[in-house]
Chain A
């Protein structure tokens, strides 16, 4: 399990294997500035100070330009950490909205989504 640390507050959130940064923060009681949640609008951009990630889906160069990507700009709705990270949220968008979830769920497993709920064309 990897950890994402928030600069400059020092908050730490554990990210499960394959989980997006947004998913980990939402699971543990936080809310953040989010747009389409699908990598298409760039509304949720954060800045990576340290660490690496990969995107779970393709992200268009029009949304995160190559120059932004080189500067560490990241879409938390699609980014899955590949190791511990330090990130900074813009315009104080991150806020703890459910301290109970943060306390109760951050270290507990949740059941996997049943496979029968998946459909294919």
Chain B
């Protein structure tokens, strides 16, 4: 295994104070550090130093961090990325707060992916010995961890090949114009390298854009409770609570104070490399994305940051 998980999302926000309120009081993340115009957060069930970085000034994605299992994975992925034609660079240990040496990849979709093996690590909030099920003093949604993200790219099929060849990801599900691989145009892919049903999804659209990054919840009722909290805190809900046909996960989409789309996601089935890939056809795209309403709202495929 090379890539274990999406380690962090680094996004821009227009007002750091408002964003802090959202990510700590509404979502329930813990603020772990502040450095200049950046603030760092983690969920209660994450042991690495941070999983979200907010940077004041603008809106949208700065980069994603992906944690590799072994130190040697960086050189291996570097070689594969360069062979694929992607531009890479090395970032020295310490240039990113509490992160070791980084392999920075400029992807075919014009996103920046930082691959690293080392990050300051500690314990989850319930401790590593005889832990309770959850901390008693959770705030708001009490999101335990970052889960996955969706980005857009002009060529989703190219990004699928890039993630397969360089990250070792497999495609759990896809939307394609044909069931015949030799005659299909890939509209969107949901990819992973673990039993987590998706770590990164790519939807055909503009280069370098963020659709959303998502936080994991355990149960469907927690998704409903999160939606109630968003109503209490005047957080604009985009869609939900509902279920996805793709991944079968329960979901609510909402927007942070800068307009970046967030999601809370619960459930979904397990993925394995030998499980047959699920293909959805465009005529049922509404049901694939929103299983109950069976239709897409206008915002979902066009509102990006």
Contact = CB atoms under 8 A, between A and B. Distances in A.
Contacts of B258: 38-40, 60
Given A57-B14, A60-B14, A37 B21 contact: no
Count class of interface residues, chain B: 20 to 34
Interface residues of A, number: 21
Nearest to A35: B303
B20 A121 contact: yes
Nearest to A93: B298
A58 B15 contact: yes
B20 A41 contact: no
Interface SS of chain B: helix, strand, loop or mixed? loop
B214 to A, nearest CB: 16
A36 B298 contact: no
A16 B24 CA distance: 31
Contacts of B238: 36
Contacts of A120: 21
Contacts of A58: 14-15
B100 interface: no
Contacts of B114: none
Contacts of A43: 299, 302-303
B58 A38 contact: no
Contact of A37 (B17, B25, B255, B260): B255
Interface of B: 12, 14-15, 17-18, 20-21, 24-25, 57-60, 232-233, 236, 238, 255-261, 298-299, 302-305
Interface of A: 33-41, 43, 57-63, 117, 119-121
